[in-house]
Amino acid sequence: MAHEAYIVAELEDAGDAPSYCVSCEWKGPASEADSAWGCRLTPGGMVPAGRCPCCGEPVYIEVEAEPVRIVIGLDGGVVQGVTANTPVEYLVYDYDIEGSDRVVTRPALDGGEVEVFDSGCDDAVVDAKTVATIYAALEAEAIP
C-alpha cells in the first residue's frame, strides 16, 4: 500500500501557544511562526502550527506529557510489585551482591559498568485508577 502525503492547506489559529522548531533552536509563540501552508503531513503524524521564522522547517506546539507514575512495593528491600499508570518495563539493579553467585556486569546508570544481581526486566502491572488514587492521597498529605 502506497503512503500518501498530505499538504497543509488551512489551519486553525494556534494563537500564542508555546511552539518549537524541529530543526533549529527556535522556540516561541505559534503566532510568530510563518504560515504552515504547503508543509507535508503524514497520516498519524503531528500537525505543524507553522514554519520556523529562522529556518523554515515545521514548528509544532509543545505538548506537556502526563508524567508516568509508578508505585513500587518493597518488603525487606525486595521488590514485591510494580504498578504504573501506563505500560512500563522495569529492571531492578540490586547492588547487594555479596555472597551471590548470580552476578552480572551491566552498564551503570552514571556511566561505566556495575555489578548487579542477575535479573531480567519485567512489565509493571498497569492500573491507572489505583495509581491515581495513591498519588491523590499523597498530594492530600502534602497539604498542611
Q: Which of 108, 125, 121, 120 minimizes the C-alpha distance to 73?
A: 125
Minimum Å gap between C-beta 47 and Zn ion is 17
Residues 13-52 that bind Zn ion (CB under 5 A): 21, 23-24, 26, 52
Q: Which residues contact 23 (CB under 8 A, 6 or more apart)?
A: 52, 55, 57
User: For Zn ion, how many residues bind (rule: CB under 5 A)?
Assistant: 8
Cβ 17 to Zn ion shortest distance, Å: 17
Residue list 95-134, contact with Zn ion (CB under 5 A): none
Distance from C-alpha of 88 to C-alpha of 49, rounded to nearest angstrom: 31
Q: Which is nearer to Zn ion, 54 or 97 (CB)?
A: 54
Under the binding rule (CB under 5 A), the answer on residue 55 touching Zn ion is: yes
Residue 1 and residue 22: Cα distance in Å, rounded?
28
Give Dmax over CA atoms of the chain in angstroms. Answer: 67
CB of 63 to Zn ion, least distance (A): 18
Minimum CB–partner distance for residue 119 and Zn ion (Å) = 44
According to DSSP H, which parts of the chain are helical? 128-142
Binding site for Zn ion (CB under 5 A): 21, 23-24, 26, 52, 54-55, 57
